[in-house]
Amino acid sequence: MLVVMKADATEQDINRVVRIIQELGYRAHPMAGATRTAISITGNQGPVDATRFENLPGVAEAIRVTKPYKLITLDLRPEKTIVRVGDATIGDEELCIIAGPCAIESRTQALTVAKTVHRSGARFFRGGAFKPRTSPYSFQGLGEEGMKILAEVRDVYGLKIVTEALDEAGVDLVERYGDMIQIGARNMQNFSLLRRAGRSPLPVLLKRGLSATLEEWLLAAEYIMAEGNYQVVLCERGIRTFAQHTRNTLDVAIIPAVRAISHLPVIVDPSHASGKSSMVTPLARAGVAVGADGLMIEVHDQPERALSDGAQALTLEQYDRLVHEVRAIHEAIAPVPAL
Ligand code: PEP
Ligand code: MN
């Protein structure tokens, strides 16, 4: 059930609806938009009686929700969500760039890459301290030591730290040392992790699972939001197909497909999508051209020595060039202001 308030509904009207929802034993999710507030109800097993709300002061209508999701939808919030990470944003007119190495390998490596990322004007630094590797014998990340290096990058350059939590204990560490929780492709349907991230004060970057449908991905975001954390950014990072010329296949069509359903920001990761540094820039251009709110890029000061994902890492020079190019594309497709 979605309770849509009138444009002139008072705070008291909204609070009354919220209270009644809670008294029924459900959870209320009020979302203020530019013109009206809508309140979504979760926690109900069967249908909710619309007549309970229809005649309350300030209520425009109570709509039965027939779609599987309630909180990610444009029905609840017709305007795009802008995710705020301190004073940096994702989802507004500025193109968001999240860049850094696949894994934090040393203090020197992280600070060297961060210097270039900062100089490029990007506001976000990425780097894994806990790595989800296919083989248990591959480099697993520096763990908490890596987190401490990330915190130093934040102190030195003021960059916002985006780093992966592999499990619920990992979320505790991101909350201590970072600014945004990354949930990786392999964990997109780790429901206890999603719920834990949903109870965090930090925003969440939710990567699309290796073979996740649009609906599965959006429902994973819904898990986070159902716990009360509405600061979710979706990240398309390529899916598993029969293609052998790339590590994964970048599904650019998912960007407008998400837009048609959801108010959440969506960004593109061309690094994991291609697995090849030579393809990262062309795919980044495509991601921006198709309307993504931002990019997540892997960059390394010495890609040939990287302990993980070296083949897809851009050099510092290649990264600088990419930023320049994608900003030009972003500007070129900016909506023309109405006359
Ligand atoms: C990463 O960003 O380094 C990563 C492991 O990504 P994904 O979960 O998309 O594979
Ligand atoms: Mn990686």
Please give the number of the atom of ligand 1 that sits closest to the Cα of 207.
Answer: 9
Question: Above 80 in pLDDT, residue 337?
Answer: no
Please give the number of the atom of ligand 1 that sits closest to the Cα of 128.
Answer: 3
Q: In terms of DSSP bridges, do strands 88-90 and 96-100 run parallel, antiparallel, or are they unpaired?
A: unpaired
Query: Rounded to whole angstroms, how far apart are CA atoms 179 and 151?
Result: 9
Residues in the chain: 339
Question: Above 80 in pLDDT, residue 307?
Answer: yes
Closest among 293, 263, 229 to 90, alpha carbons compared: 293
Share of residues in the chain with pLDDT > 70 (%): 100
Q: Region 316-336: what's the mean pLDDT?
A: 95
pLDDT of residue 207: 98
pLDDT of residue 319: 98
196 falls in which pLDDT band (50, 70, 90)?
very high
Question: pTM here?
Answer: 0.97
309: CA distance to ligand 2 center in Å? 5
pLDDT of residue 339: 72
Listed in sequence order, the residues at least 6 apart from 67 whose beta carbon sits closer than 8 Å to its beta carbon are 73, 75
137: CA distance to ligand 2 center in Å? 16
Q: Region 270-280: what's the mean pLDDT?
A: 98
67: CA distance to ligand 2 center in Å? 34
Question: Above 80 in pLDDT, residue 65?
Answer: yes
Nearest CA to ligand 1 atom 9: 185
58: CA distance to ligand 1 center in Å? 45
Closest among 316, 323, 277, 327 to 100, alpha carbons compared: 316
Distances (CA, A) of 242 to 1, 149, 180, 246, 309: 41, 38, 33, 10, 21
Which tokens go with 68?
A: 């599987």
Nearest CA to ligand 1 atom 6: 184
66: CA distance to ligand 1 center in Å? 33
Mutation choice for ligand 1 from 237, 251, 271, CB with most ligand atoms inside 8 A: 237
Ligand nearest to the CA of 133: 1
The pLDDT tens digits for 6-64 are 999 999 999 999 999 999 999 999 999 999 999 999 999 888 999 999 999 999 999 99
CA 168 to chain CA centroid, Å, is: 18
pLDDT of residue 280: 98
308: CA distance to ligand 2 center in Å? 7
The pLDDT tens digits for 90-136 are 999 999 999 999 999 999 999 999 999 999 999 999 999 999 999 99
Mutation choice for ligand 1 from 207, 246, 249, CB with most ligand atoms inside 8 A: 207
> Left if phi > 0, otherwise alpha if psi is -120 to 50, otherwise beta: which for 48?
beta
